Amino acid sequence: MSVLELKHITTTVNAGTSEEKQILKDINLKLNDGDFVTLLGTNGAGKSTLLNTINGSLAPTTGKVVLDDKDLTSLSEVKRAKYISQVFQDPKMGTAPRMTVAENLLLATKCGKHRGLKLRGLDKHMDKFSRETAQLPNGLNDRLNTFVGNLSGGQRQTLSFLMATINKPDLLLLDEHTAALDPNTSRGLLELTAKVVREQKLTCVMITHQLKDALKYGNRTIILNSGKIVLDISGEKRKHLTEDDILQYFTD
């Protein structure tokens, strides 16, 4: 079953000006149910633009974005949030600093849903939030009543990841979500990512600049160069792929 399909996606920025530039060039891509894709490419290759086109924050110039046979192309980023979750590189994005950890988690459970005018019901969720955070690194289960702005970068990013996966999204997008963290914290969050994606059987695209991580995690690797897919590899062929093999796709 194909979960995500991009059909002839072209994305141009600053159209009609001297700064006009075509970032994505006729991208055609199908992700299957449960695919965990590691996405590589040089700076400016179009990785973040691809994710932004999928999540709805950037409209494609041409083409369609289809998820589970639903055409999302004309839907806003807010409406796509019902189906798609994302964790960004900056730990400060995706969380509300003046709300507590528990309040942020409650907000995440309501993402993409009609909220209406009713009491928030935080107390009845506290046991669940305590159980979920107890399985995470960084001691978040002891900080449910702490304002998120007082958390460390690693704690905040771990919270962002939990918020993004708490409702089991149809598609999870990770835009270098460990890049701003120290090596130990980054490793812990990557291991958590692999565990959650595997156990929840999520379909996921993870941008990374680390070649070792691109080969270690996931079941499929895609490389972008100058707005085009130059490698899409999985299965036995991917198992034999080396870092030197990958580097040859980074030349202009």
The Cα–Cα gap between 127 and 251 comes to 52
Q: Which residue has the higher pLDDT, 251 or 230?
A: 230
Tell me the mean pLDDT in the region 222-249.
94
Q: Is residue 161 part of a domain?
A: yes
The Cα–Cα gap between 45 and 135 comes to 36
What is the per-residue pLDDT across 79-92, written as a single tens digit (0 to 9) for each? 999 999 999 988 88
Q: Is residue 134 part of a domain?
A: yes
84 strand-pairing partners: 171
Enter the tokens of residue 11: 């994305």
Tell me the mean pLDDT in the region 181-185.
88
> How many separate domains does the chain show?
1
Distance of CA 114 to the CA centre of its chain: 23
Q: Report the relative pairing of strands 36-41 and 204-207 from DSSP bridges.
A: parallel
Q: Is residue 26 part of a domain?
A: no
**Strand, helix or coil for residue 248:** helix
Q: Which domain holds residue 159?
A: 34-56+75-113+122-250
Q: Is residue 29 part of a domain?
A: no
Q: Is residue 104 part of a domain?
A: yes
Q: Is residue 108 part of a domain?
A: yes
What is the per-residue pLDDT across 140-166, written as a single tens digit (0 to 9) for each? 888 999 999 999 888 999 999 999 999
Which residue type, as a one-letter code, is found at position 240? H
The whole-number pLDDT of residue 194 equals 96
**What is the distance in angstroms between the CA of the first residue and the CA of the last residue of the chain?**
35
Q: Assign residue 88 the CATH number of its domain.
A: 3.40.50.300
Q: Is residue 27 part of a domain?
A: no
Kindly report the average pLDDT of the chain as a whole number: 90
Q: Is residue 210 part of a domain?
A: yes
